[in-house]
Structure formats: structure tokens, C-alpha cells
Amino acid sequence: MNPHAYVHGYSPRENRRLSEQSEILKQILHGDTHFEPASLVLEAGCGTGAQSAILSPMFPETVFMGIDISLASLAEARSRGLHRHHFSRTDINCLPFPPETFDHVLVCFVLEHLTDPEKALYELKRVLKPRGLITVIEGDHGSCFWHPETRASRTVWQSLITVQSGLGHDPDIGRRLHPLLSRAGFHVQMTRPCWLYADASCPDLLDGMVNKIIVPMVKTARESAIQQGLAGEAEWAEGIADLEKSGNPPGGTFFYTWFKSIGVKQD
């Protein structure tokens, strides 16, 4: 198995999804994100820089080091022209930084794609200064529901979960951030759900979440899902169409929650 497998792949459509997603979710995920001015932040698994682009104007005196395993994603991140953001191709499990380098580590949508998230947390802790902070934001696909929820739409959603689990990754990792950080030796200051609920009262958010984030994300797993016999082609098409319906007022509703955890490196 490819140790760097990424369930969503690296297509231009997926890159666009990552940017649209981060704009839609800015307030939900980063409303309480905080970095000290003049601090040095490691953004581990920065991907195409979708979060970097959000955080850069929020923290105009902070310096960021973004690392990722994908050269193509890093090229996209660099092309954003973000000052104070440095990017480097690096394996999260084996960082080329001396111990106690960073004031803060940010991990966003990364642990869910690793075979051993606890190991990565130990390595991130190593490069964090004493009493330094780690902010982790991860989704939980098991938290997701919508209306109307049909058998076919549930099948395509479950297919994504099964494909990602089959890579040895945990798409439900959000719910276990607290015990995971604790076991890795952090003192957990806070863990909270960052939830999104949308209905006909906020049609743009409903459409954005379902049709710009969720449906494109599910589609990244189409080939694998059909290949693995998790859904037939017709069933897949029906499930996607049904999922799209939940993004339409007046009847559609959608719920998903990410989790955000802040831990302190203990002495």
C-alpha cells in the first residue's frame, strides 16, 4: 500500500474544492484560532495552502512553515504568493527540524489521512517548544446526516468512508481527538465540535456545503468505490443525485461536524 495514499487525490477539481471549502468554513473552523504575533507556526500537512490563505491575513505578524508530502500541492501553495509562508516537502513522521523549534503547530484535515496519527503527534511534539501549543482540526464522517436521506445517498457516503478506511486511515477521527492528544502526551485545553447545520433559511450555505464541499469530496472516491463493489454505477449516480437534493431548499437540510482540539506540550 502506498504510504502516502490520499483518498481525495490531487486533481484540479479537488484543489478547487479545498479552496472553496476553506472559504465557506473560515468562521466555523478558525473563528477562535489564535497564534501569537511574531510566533513561528508549523502548518503540518498544508496541502495546497487553502488554510494558509485564510490564516495569513488573520495573523499579519506570524511566520508560517508549511510542510506537505505532495510536491504538486506545494507548488499550488507557493503560487498563492503568501508572504511569511515558507513551504517545504517533508514527511510528517520524520521532520527535518531540530527539537523545540516551533511556538505552535497547526494540523488541519491531516490526521484522518495517516496510518499512524499518534506517531505523527509524537513527532510534532518533538519540534514544539516547551509549553508550546498544538491546534488540531479534523472531520468526522460518521457525524454527517442530511434530509431527505435515501438508501442510495447513504450508500455513496458510506462508500467514501469504506474506501478511506481501506487505506488504513480513520475518517471518523474527529471524535477521538481528545484521547488521541492525551495519549500523545499533550495536556488538552479544549476540544469542541465545529458544527455546520444548514437548511432553507441559509440557502447559500446549504448549497455551498452540499454541492461545493460534500458532493465533490464523495466523487473523489467514485472509481475506488465502484471498483471495490461498494456501489454499482447506476446506484452511484442515484446516490449523488439524491445527495444533491439535500442541498436544495425548501426541503433539504444538512449537518456535519469537525472537531477542534488545542493541546499544550507538557514539561
Task: Give the gyration radius of the chain's Cα atoms.
Answer: 18
Residue (130 or 148) nearer to its own copies, CB: 148
Residue (199 or 244) nearer to its own copies, CB: 199
Query: Whose CA is closest to 225, among 160, 151, 157?
Result: 160
Closest contact distance (angstroms) between CB of 182 and its own copies is 6
Length of the chain: 267
Distance CA 132, CA 134 (A): 7
Residue (130 or 251) nearer to its own copies, CB: 251
Closest contact distance (angstroms) between CB of 198 and its own copies is 10
* Residue 166 binds its own copies (CB under 8 A): no
Cis-peptide into 250, omega within 30 deg: yes
Closest contact distance (angstroms) between CB of 120 and its own copies is 19
From candidates 142, 166, 203, 232, binder to its own copies by CB under 8 A: 142
Binding mask 42-81 for its own copies (x = CB under 8 A): ----------------------------------------
Q: Which helix (H) or strand (E) holds 129?
A: strand 128-139
* Residue 245 binds its own copies (CB under 8 A): no
Q: Which stretch binds its own copies (CB under 8 A): 8-16, 30-38, 60-68, 177-185?
A: 177-185
Pairing mode, strands 253-265 and 145-147: antiparallel
Site for its own copies, residues 199 to 218, rule: CB under 8 A = 199-201
From candidates 191, 213, 218, 263, binder to its own copies by CB under 8 A: 191
Distance CA 17, CA 199 (A): 21
Contact of 68 with 45, CB cutoff 8 Å: yes
From candidates 8, 104, 176, 219, binder to its own copies by CB under 8 A: 176
Exposure letters 126-142 (e unless 16+ CB within 10 A, then b)? ebbbeebbbbbbbbbbe
Q: Which stretch binds its own copies (CB under 8 A): 78-86, 88-96, 168-176, 213-221?
A: 168-176
DSSP 140-189: -GGG-EEES--HHHHHHHHHHHHHHHHTT--TTGGGGHHHHHHHTTEEEE
From candidates 45, 253, 263, 265, binder to its own copies by CB under 8 A: 253
Closest contact distance (angstroms) between CB of 197 and its own copies is 5
**Helix (H, G, I), strand (E, B), or coil: what is residue 76?**
helix
Chain contacts with its own copies (rule: CB under 8 A): 140, 142-143, 145-149, 172, 175-176, 178-179, 182, 188, 190-193, 195, 197, 199-201, 250-253, 255, 257
